[in-house]
Amino acid sequence: MTVPTHMTFFSRFENDILSGKKTITIRDESEKNYQVGSRVTVATFEDGREFCQLDVLAVEPIHWDDLNVWHAEQENMTLSELKSVISEIYPNETQFYVVSYQLVSE
């Protein structure tokens, strides 16, 4: 297994990440191999523009039915917004991974 050193986000999340309002990301099975204690370079999904680095704090499995208001708050959105975004990105998926991270300050 190769430990990922890059992570992408849709550009609409950039400001929330840089301001510290977004402190987790919820990914599917294909992105569960982030390692606690590793540092990743973050880029926009749309054009690959790098904009920060994050330290991975935790990677925890979660089922769709267990997503709650706490997760939504860490994503800086409401629970209904969070579930809508996840189902848009990962249609028909029910098993996910919560990647908690901390912004690396310069």
What residues act catalytically?
Answer: 22, 25, 75
Looking up tokens 């267990």 gives 66
Handedness of CA 71, 76, 78, 83 (dihedral sign): negative
Nearest CA among 42, 37, 74 for reference residue 59? 37
Looking up tokens 């919560």 gives 98
Instruction: Determine how many CB atoms are found less than 10 A away from the CB of residue 45.
Output: 14
Distance CA 37, CA 105 (A): 16
